[in-house]
Amino acid sequence: AIEQAHPGLSVEVVRHPGNRSTGTWCDAQQALWPERVPSGFVIQAKRWVVERTHAWNERARRLIAHHDRSAWAPVAWVWLTEARMLATRLAG
């Protein structure tokens, strides 16, 4: 198909021993090169909210070390911590 669209261009399919996509169909309209992904630290808004919430929750010392044997106790401590933070924000 490429040779018909561009006369004078020859195409050779080279099989690499590590090629795991042999026998799979690829979309003919897909880009030849993927979009460039920025390197380094990239800010992700939703992840920041979740990580900050965990950090605020861990300020309560009970949530750092889980010494309770039951599964419901850590969940209860998270609820209590969140309720305390909400009350502090509403009062202040």
Residues 55-89 have pLDDT tens digits of 877 777 766 676 667 778 778 888 888 898 889 88
Q: What percent helix, strand, coil does the chain show, rounded to 5?
A: 45, 0, 55
Compute the mean pLDDT over every residue in the chain, rounded to the nearest whole number: 76
Domain carrying residue 54 = 45-91
Q: What percent of the chain has pLDDT over 90?
A: 3
Residue 20 lies in a domain: no
Residue 30 lies in a domain: no
pLDDT (0 to 100) of residue 1: 63
Residue 71 lies in a domain: yes
Whole-model pTM above 0.75?
no
Residue 14 lies in a domain: no
In the chain, the number of structural domains is 1
